[in-house]
Amino acid sequence: MQIVVLAAGRGTRLRPVTEHRSKAMAPVLGRPLVERALAPWVDHGLTDAIFVVGPDDEEIRAVFCPGNSLGIAVQFVVQEERRGMAHALCVAAPLLRGDFCLTACDSLVAADHTAELLAAHEDGTGVLSLMDVPEELVSRSAAVELDGEFIRRIVEKPNRGDAPSNTVSLPHYVLPRRFLDLLPDLEPSERGEIELQDGIQRLIDDGCRVVGVRTSSRFQVSNPDDLLRLNLEELAKGEEAVIVHSSEVAEDSDFIGRVRIDRGVVVGRRCVIGPNVYLERGCVVGDGAVVKDSVILSGAVVAEGQRVRGELLC
């Protein structure tokens, strides 16, 4: 089965991280965010991917060239205009051969949940990832009406009080090939986008079996604080406390707790780095600086003697 990866978003809310890179390429301990999102699907045998990317994202093409770290085959299609998820899928449709998976680059779920989504799929069946959220958050997503495990209705970003439930659809799907035939007839929503949820509702109305699989958690990366927290959480999972790839690190600097330093990082003399710090390639930490509980990204400079704690700098 093929998987379509939605990676064309500008990442406006993630600025300034995305001033010079796409949201998909935001770093998580030396790996792009999109790789983290795709890895659980690859773990369960999906090795044929179609990336929907923006017109100016050359970095993602370089990283996912043949011989990439995930060991998957990747094709790229360009979404020239960002007109919604269904529009992005239309761009990828000519490359799809049958039933397929669809996932977003900024929404992370556990490998066991992707396994459950794949297990719920049968030929011609649609499968949606579901999660219960507080009532005040329902209007940010697509709410669903359920009949047991079956989806009866799906409403994109309903007004508060109009939602059919507080169960929402996450951007992880297994969809039948026939779904693609519905996309050309979809009209833009009030937001001016071609909504994937309108296509799913039409699929349901046409008699297709669409089921939901619940998860209790996911990690959504929307802003710099989210990216900081994700990096620190992933750092905490590491087996090695200190990983230093760079050769430009002064010997008299101290490292405390969990620290990762990429190649191409410069760390001056008498610095204190850690606990819980990630330094991305291309950043500089000046003499005598103290960095704790922080992520310093490419191009950022921590000045001599500066103290940084709980920040993401870029």
Q: List the domains of the chain with CATH numbers.
A: 2-220 (3.90.550.10), 240-313 (2.160.10)
Q: Could you tell me which residue, 257 or 82, shows the higher pLDDT? A: 257
Q: Is the pLDDT of residue 23 over 80?
A: yes
Share of the chain above pLDDT 70, in %: 100
Give residue-wise pLDDT tens across range 98-111.
Answer: 999 999 999 999 99
pLDDT band (50, 70, 90) for residue 81? confident
> How confident is the model at residue 149, as a pLDDT?
87
Q: Is the pLDDT of residue 122 over 90?
A: no
- Over residues 151-163, the mean pLDDT reads 87
> How confident is the model at residue 43, as a pLDDT?
93
**What is the distance between the alpha carbons of residues 10 and 26, in angstroms, rounded to a whole number?**
11
Give residue-wise pLDDT tens across range 213-270.
Answer: 999 999 999 999 999 999 999 999 987 888 999 989 999 999 999 999 999 999 999 9
- Over residues 52-73, the mean pLDDT reads 91
